[in-house]
Structure 1
Amino acid sequence: MKKRTPPSSLAGNSPAHQQSAGRDPTTINEFKYINERPVDDISLNFFYKPHTITLLAVSIFGVMYFAFVRDQTDVQENIWAGMVCVIFFFLIISVLAFPNGPFTRPHPVVWRMLFGLSVLYLLFLLFLMFQDYKSIMGIFYWFDPTLRAFHIDMDKDYAANCSDVSLERIWSHVDVFAVGHYLGWAFKAVLIRHMGILWAISVMWEITEITFAHLLPNFAECWWDALILDVLVCNGFGIWCGLKFCKLLEMREYKWASIRDISSTSGKLKRAVLQFTPESWAHVRWLDPTSTYMRFFAVSQLVLLWQLTELNTFFLKHIFEMPPSHPVVIGRLVFVGLFTAPSVRQYYIYVTDTRCKRLGTQCWVYIAILISEAILCIKNGRELFERTQVKNIVFWLFIQAVISIMFVYSCMLWHKYVDGDDSQDSSPVKQPSREFKDSAVLSGDSKGPEYYVHPVFVAHAHGKLKDPDLNRTSYDIKIKIV
């Protein structure tokens, strides 16, 4: 092994050295793995090297060109162009400065830009929070003047003639929204990957619809619509398909070849397409027979946060009067769905891995968005919430808490008495991290083909963290062990 020794004046004052001083390096790495995951096995260096000067030059010249050549006679167009330019430069900054998050496929730039969009959305919500209802609707009318003609019919009866049950009538309710409902639950299953938690969210959402039906008329459904179409068909079939898809991905063997090593054109094209698939697929274990009460309540909190996410969707489009098919409604659903993926992963690691002491940045922003949306709905829906039946809300809160605790506790009992052996072995808390596996290879307890081990973990594995040069360079170099 060869060790590169930097000048002491630079190494001792490096940010990495200052950050590592007085901290547990395992904790630092566990948080960094979910907040700033590195890209492994880079073969095309051009796509992963920083091009900051080139990006700055292209951005400045592009803005200068459009600023001088475009027509500036229309004030509305000028405002819109200025907003687009601000968003563009904010996304450029997010590419340069924001963390990757827990995912790196197809490219970290995609997840950095998504994180930048989420921060912009949070800032937009905070801005709307300090406007009155008329001003907010004026902003929406400026974006889409056709919204002036749309109003929600509060007198429409959504649960009419429920005693008329027939196969034809049930089939008539299967529309594009039912397909979207099914796809949404399949996507939730891919994100959460736990049958008990998914069914808890499904059952509790139907109770939520019944509780808030006096505020949101479209929540009123016939019993067969809620039980058969929603719970069994859309929710149940979506959960089943999503979990089956996860099982297929778990059984797949992930061996990635560099596109440079593929000779055929078809093989190169296939490898390029596979870049948009997951790099790996980890088995998820939210609960363990020996889970602490904090982990128990954290999983219950996930169920409640998911209810808030769903409620915000319906209250936002009802209070600010937008049709379900409006691009703003659809765009928000797609955006929240995409941003939920890294947030759930960060929350999972934070809840299940005791070495991770900090909540991921993307998950933090996601929770802030949920709370901001709820505050915006309460502030601008005073007339709607004045009709709230307090006993229904108290009953809903009680049922939410009871069902969450009951489902989560039942899952713990299942893992303890039915699936105990498997859960004991595959619990994320009991699994050694990548660094501890590397240490096992060094000590001869484990065999592996070729490992790149962080120097600080090499030193910890042998108990020889005494070389000051190694200490200073522990966050700047890598050692290859064959």
Structure 2
Amino acid sequence: KNINKDFFDDGTMSFFWRAHRISALIIFILVLLYVTLYDDATNNSDYNTKRGIIAVIISFVVFGVTITPDGPFRRPHPALWRLMLVLSIVYELLLIFVLFQTADDARLLLRHIDPGLGVPLPEKSYGGNCELYDSSRPDNPFHNVKDKMDSFVAVHFFGWWTKTLIVRDWWLCTVTSILFEVLEYTLEHQLPNFSECWWDHWLMDALICNGLGIVLGMKTVKYLSMKTYHWRGLWTYPTYRGKFSRILKQFTPYIYTDFDWRPTQSLKRWLSMLLIVAGILICELNAFTLKFVLWVPPSHFLCLARLVLFIFWGAVSLREVFQFLDDPQCHKFGAQSTLAIAIMITEVLIAFKFDWNTFTKPLPPHVINMLLIGALALIVWTLWHFYFQ
């Protein structure tokens, strides 16, 4: 998809682009020698256990970054994307460990990260009084709208801006945004946080926050697609201003690949697109279910950390999936996309194991009817388009 792109690279490779496995190994051994010879041992088993686990994770990350192969992205540095791959492995291993615990033990484990965790959380419901204009409050008639304007409005907007940069398709993003609002309707009997007013669903979320984020995202995609990519080594720029500009450009794409998903080109591609949409929805849903079963406040840094990591993982995963679908020479499913699927499935299993009663509550009849109608329409259209048209 890079045909006719204005692209040039002079091939300059600096010190920072070369492999440094020997250097990393020497530094690693020196650190171990220091810990062995000079670090004072303590009799605090809890402290030693925590420090040992952290050391194991850091060691795994260091070796992983130096020996794993490069991914599809080169900017700002391939090592960053190798780091993201290794962190996804660490996260999946931690999820598997949590899966083998009880719900109470898993919540207690989080207290080692933050002593304030491990206590039940009050779920905020955004439903209740759904009047847009409350005439009984002439001093503040729009208080219902103001009450629902919190920090998550900005999260919605910037979240969908980044999702659009990852997916690079207006229709796919818009359909996914609408389907998630439908998913909130479907599961509001299980998660009180999903109980919102109609205008909160469709005006504030789908139309304003998500919609504007998607529009800005597509504007950014269009700019990146039309931009020229001419790369020269840093030291080929004669002025400091040119060098500084080159450093900033290091954080832009090496070359931008347009995603032409063509969902209706074939049945295989159509089913693949349905799975991609389902994967995005599950990833979004897991953010709510995990904090619900593990008692993590929405504003906690763990929720933000997961969100940021999934931005990186999602970017690589969608790039790998697109190449797998679009490139006839690509016969292997990507490593990052494989791990992303494993992570999402493990998160779902944790949610069901820790709160089976909540997530197996029967769906209301009107929700069942809505889902059946939607599924039937999807099946009928698929058969008609690919077999009878």
Shift of 1:50: 2.1
After superposition, give the CA deviation of every residue in 1:306-358 in whole Å (9 maximum; x if it has no partner): 11111111000001111101111111111111111000100111122233222
Partner of 1:304: 278
The answer to whether 1:56 aligns with 2:25 is yes
The answer to whether 1:213 aligns with 2:199 is no
Is residue 131–residue 144 contact of structure 2 (8 Å, CA) maintained in 1? Answer: no
Residue pairs, 1:197-346, within 5 angstroms: 197-287=172-262, 291-346=265-320
Partner of 1:107: 77
Partner of 2:61: 91
After superposition, give the CA deviation of every residue in 1:216-243 in whole Å (9 maximum; x if it has no partner): 0010001111111001101111100000
Name the CA distance, whole Å, in 2 between partners of 1:180 and 1:288. 29
Counterpart residue identity of residue 283, structure 2: T
Shift of 1:129: 1.5
Shift of 1:90: 0.7
Is residue 211–residue 392 contact of structure 1 (8 Å, CA) maintained in 2? Answer: no
Counterpart residue identity of residue 337, structure 1: I
Number of residue pairs the alignment of both structures matches: 370
Q: 1:90 to 1:161 in 2, by over 3 A?
A: same
Out of 107, 120, 123, which is 2:93 matched to?
A: 123
Gaps of 5+ in 1: 1-39, 414-482
The answer to whether 1:77 aligns with 2:51 is no
After superposition, give the CA deviation of every residue in 1:261-281 in whole Å (9 maximum; x if it has no partner): 111112112111211111111
Q: 1:403 to 1:365 in 2, by over 3 A?
A: farther
Counterpart residue identity of residue 266, structure 1: R
* Cα-Cα RMSD: 2.6
TM-score for both structures, normalised by structure 1: 0.72
Out of 324, 348, 359, which is 2:322 matched to?
A: 348
Counterpart residue identity of residue 167, structure 2: I
Residue pairs, 1:113-192, within 5 angstroms: 113-148=83-118, 150-153=119-122, 157-165=125-133, 167=142, 169-192=144-167
Counterpart residue identity of residue 304, structure 1: A
Is residue 170–residue 214 contact of structure 2 (8 Å, CA) maintained in 1? Answer: yes
Q: 1:176 to 1:157 in 2, by over 3 A?
A: closer
Is residue 210–residue 219 contact of structure 1 (8 Å, CA) maintained in 2? Answer: yes
Q: 1:403 to 1:98 in 2, by over 3 A?
A: farther
Shift of 1:134: 2.1
Partner of 1:372: 346
Is residue 263–residue 269 contact of structure 2 (8 Å, CA) maintained in 1? Answer: no
Partner of 1:363: 337
Gaps of 5+ in 2: 1-8, 134-140
Is residue 119–residue 365 contact of structure 1 (8 Å, CA) maintained in 2? Answer: yes
Is residue 291–residue 298 contact of structure 2 (8 Å, CA) maintained in 1? Answer: yes
Partner of 1:12: none
Q: What's the secondary structure of 1:387's corresponding residue? A: coil
Name the CA distance, whole Å, in 2 between partners of 1:120 and 1:362. 13
Shift of 1:48: 2.3
Is residue 157–residue 209 contact of structure 2 (8 Å, CA) maintained in 1? Answer: yes
Q: What's the secondary structure of 1:142's corresponding residue? A: coil
Shift of 1:387: 3.0
Shift of 1:373: 0.7
Greater mean deviation of Cα atoms: 83-92 or 202-211: 83-92
Shift of 1:138: 1.9
Shift of 1:380: 1.1
Counterpart residue identity of residue 54, structure 1: S
After superposition, give the CA deviation of every residue in 1:364-422 in whole Å (9 maximum; x if it has no partner): 1111111111111111111323434375775575466468779999xx99xxxxxxxxx
Name the CA distance, whole Å, in 1 between partners of 2:270 and 2:164. 20
Shift of 1:86: 0.8
Name the CA distance, whole Å, in 1 between partners of 2:170 and 2:380. 14
Residue pairs, 1:378-457, within 5 angstroms: 378-389=352-363, 391=365, 394-395=368-369, 398=372, 401=375
Name the CA distance, whole Å, in 2 between partners of 1:403 and 1:301. 17
Greater mean deviation of Cα atoms: 366-375 or 79-88: 79-88
Is residue 300–residue 404 contact of structure 1 (8 Å, CA) maintained in 2? Answer: no
Is residue 105–residue 275 contact of structure 1 (8 Å, CA) maintained in 2? Answer: yes
Q: What's the secondary structure of 2:254's corresponding residue? A: coil
Bigger CA radius of gyration = 1
Q: 1:320 to 1:396 in 2, by over 3 A?
A: farther
Greater mean deviation of Cα atoms: 272-281 or 210-219: 272-281
Counterpart residue identity of residue 317, structure 1: K
Is residue 107–residue 295 contact of structure 2 (8 Å, CA) maintained in 1? Answer: no
